[in-house]
Amino acid sequence: MTWNWELPDWPNFVWDTAKLVAIEQQFLRDSGVFIGTSKHLKAEDQDQLRVEFLSSEALTTSEIEGEILDRASVQSSIRKQLGISGDSRLSTPAEQGISEMTVDLYRTYAEPLSEETLFAWHRMLFKGRNDLIDIGRYRAQADPMQVVSAGLHLPKVHFEAPPSQRVKAEAAGFISWFNRTAPEGPEPLPALTRAGTAHLYFESIHPFEDGNGRIGRAISDKALAQAIGEPTFVALSATILNKRKSYYQALEAGSHSNEITTWLLWFAATALEAQHRTTRLVEFLIAKTRMFDRLSGELNERQERALLRVFREGIDGFAGGLSAANYMKITGASPATTTRDLADLVALGALSRVGEHRHARYLLILK
C-alpha cells in the first residue's frame, strides 16, 4: 500500500478550489456575525464563553484519543490560567497539561508556528508521564510509526508515517509551509483550505511518539484564528468527537493521495458545523442575560446562586436536569425551602418541571 508521503508529488497537495469557494465564504461571513454577536455579552459572560469553549475543546480533543478527563477540574485549571476567579480544585497532570496547551494556543494564535511551539505543546500534553521515550522532541524510534486497529485475526494498518530519520526535515517543511500560507504570508490560502490541509499534512508526518491528533487539531484551530484575526471559538474538537468514526475514515482516505478535495470538503463541512455549535453557546449566554434582566428583583439569593450554577454547566446543563438534591447542595437550603424555591422558579418562568416527586427534574426555559 502506498502512502501520500511516498508519492513523487509529496507534499504538493492539490484540490478543486471551485468546490470550496461557497463554504469558505460562508465560514467568513458567519465568523463576522459571531464576533458581532459575542460583543454584546457582559464581561462575566465573555469570561464564561472563554472558559466553556476552551474547556470543551480540551476535554473533547482528549476524548477523541480515548482519554477521559474531569470537566470541573479542567475548567478550574483554565480559569486559573486565565486569571478568572474559581475554586481551588486540584487537577491531574493530564488535566493541567491539556489546559495549558489550550490556553497557550488561545493566547499565541497570531504568532508564527515554530518547532519550539510544537515541542512546548508536547511537553504540556505529557506532563507527568514516564511511559514515553520522546517527550518534547520528535520521535526517534527505529520501528515504523503505524496507526493500527485490532482485527479479529490480523491487526489492520490504517496509516504508516515516514521513518523517524525523515521527521525533522519533514516537520521543518511543514512549519515553513504553514507560515508561508498564513493570511499575511507570501502564499496565503483561504481559511478552511489552509486549516484542513495543515491537519492532514501534520498527521501524515506524525512527528511525535504520541499526541499527534491533539496537536494537529490545535494547529487547525491556530490556522482558523489567524484567518479570522482573533482567537477563534470554533468548537472543532467537540464536533469531531460526535463524528469520530467518519473523521478517522476521512483521514485514512486522504492519506493515499495528494489530491485532497474530498478531505477538504469533509473538514470544511465539519468546521462550519463546529462554528454553528459555538454560535448556539453565545445565544445561550445572551438568553442568560435576558433571564436575569427579566427576573431582576424577583429572585432570592439562593435562587440566583442556583440559576447561575446551572448556567455555568453550559448548553447541556446538568445531566437529566437540575434535581432538588442538586439545589440543596448548591444553596444549602432545607428540603422544605428547596421545594418552595423551585416552585417559585417554575412560576416565574425560569425553570420547567418534568417528572414527579424524587424523580422531578428542572430545566432552564430560554427565551
**Model pLDDT for residues 173-204, shown as the tens digit of each residue:** 999 999 999 999 999 999 999 999 999 999 99
Query: Please, which pLDDT band fits residue 151 given cuts at 50, 70 and 90?
Result: low
The DSSP bridge partners found for residue 159 are: 147
Q: Looking at the chain, which runs of residues are DSSP E strands? A: 146-149, 156-160, 351-354, 361-364
Average pLDDT over residues 165-172: 98
Question: What's the rounded Cα separation, in Å, for the pair 93 and 85?
Answer: 21
* Residue 169: closest CA among 200, 209, 138, 128: 138
Nine cell digits for residue 266: 469533509
The DSSP bridge partners found for residue 364 are: 351
Whether residue 152 is predicted with pLDDT greater than 60 in this model: the reply is: no
Query: Please, which pLDDT band fits residue 316 given cuts at 50, 70 and 90?
Result: low
Instruction: Please tell me which residue, 34 or 225, carries the higher pLDDT value.
Output: 225
Instruction: Please tell me which residue, 90 or 334, carries the higher pLDDT value.
Output: 334
Q: Percentage of residues in the chain with pLDDT exceeding 90?
A: 72
Domains in the chain, ordered, with CATH?
A: 4-283 (1.10.3290.10), 297-364 (1.10.10.10)
- Cβ atoms of residues 366 and 292 within 8 Å: no
Whether residue 317 is predicted with pLDDT greater than 80 in this model: the reply is: no
Instruction: Tally the C-alpha atoms within 13 A of residue 12's C-alpha that lie toward its C-beta.
Output: 3
Beta carbons within 8 Å of 19's beta carbon, 6+ residues apart:
261, 265
Angle between helix axes 191-205 and 164-180 (nearest 10 degrees) is 170
The DSSP bridge partners found for residue 326 are: none
Mean pLDDT score of the chain, rounded to an integer?
92
Instruction: Please tell me which residue, 90 or 240, carries the higher pLDDT value.
Output: 240
Question: Would the pTM count as exceeding 0.75?
Answer: yes
Whether residue 256 is predicted with pLDDT greater than 70 in this model: the reply is: yes
pLDDT, tens only, 101-127: 999 999 999 999 999 999 999 999 998
Query: Please, which pLDDT band fits residue 143 given cuts at 50, 70 and 90?
Result: confident
From the centroid of its chain, how far is CA 365?
A: 27
pLDDT, tens only, 47-97: 888 888 899 899 999 999 999 999 889 999 999 999 987 677 788 999 999
